[in-house]
Structure 1
């Protein structure tokens, strides 16, 4: 794939199919609105989705992910979150001189997930900066952190999502809070939003 053919303003690394491998979404548009005058490229570009196949390989699935993704626009911001709390991560994209686009994830499979909502006490209330390690019963280990920053001029859901694949239980969740407090949760059932409050110490 020629990467020069694509531009990008915002991107998000998020597990769209809950298989335990984080996928890539890119809100695309060239930075020069007159690019077509001097190069075989277009100013407006579609939103792209790349599925993580594991082993450091990604597959461009934009054409099979739905017709709305393929409509070119001057895309800018990209925010992600589970808008309906069904465990499938959705995303919202903005475009210059155009409407906001809401992409509702309707992926169908038997994979499991967990969504963590952290509340700080000693740390900042939104727990921004908290580091999380999740280990499933089948040995899959994933890392993430609490942030709302994912794209240009936008803010995403501060809850942290993990796709768990076939595992219906999280063996261990380790949280390192911004205050340096370490918290461990064990044997947490999957397919739910779990609220976690920072312990006193």
Structure 2
């Protein structure tokens, strides 16, 4: 126990959460100062995974800890529209590129289950749209691309690739 050797040192620390502001800010990643218990509780975290645990269209986070129970952090923010994408395919498509085009810009994501050390995330992508209007989504994998432009927002869509 580090406190027995050096009482001023603390092994457990508060988690950090960053917002990807993209090109709209001076710095791409901005620290989120108020993220509920996620940034208030001291933890010895080992892995983090995310998914839409409560099916409300935003990403919730689970953090595992050393010698303690995992912590679930429910995201209750209301930031705007979203779209959920699940891809049905006869062949594996992990790593496929998903390009989301709205009237406010373009986002590019990769379809994957692994994002963090010792964890796996929900298969499928939740993409925040803010207040933008969805124009189209393009899925690309192994030199093949398909465009989808009649998808609904604020719920999950299953597409065939």
TM-score, length-scaled by structure 1: 0.70
Question: How much does 1:42 deviate?
Answer: 2.7
Question: How much does 1:71 deviate?
Answer: 1.2
Q: Give structure 1 stretches of 5+ with no counterpart.
A: 1-32
Residue by residue over 1:25-78, the C-alpha shift from the partner in whole angstroms, topping out at 9 and shown as x without a partner, is xxxxxxxx749957x75321122112234333433224x211353211210010
2:151 alignment partner, SS class: strand
Q: Give structure 2 stretches of 5+ with no counterpart.
A: none
Aligned pair count reads 158
- 5, 30, 55: which is aligned to 1:59? 30
- 85, 89, 95: which is aligned to 1:116? 85
1:67 alignment partner, SS class: helix
CA RMSD of aligned residues (A): 2.3
Question: How much does 1:87 deviate?
Answer: 0.8
Q: What are the equivalent positions in structure 2 for 1:28-177 lying under 5 Å apart? A: 34=2, 37=5, 41-53=9-21, 54-55=24-25, 56-62=27-33, 64-109=34-79, 111-121=80-90, 123-124=91-92, 127-138=93-104, 140-167=105-132, 169-177=133-141
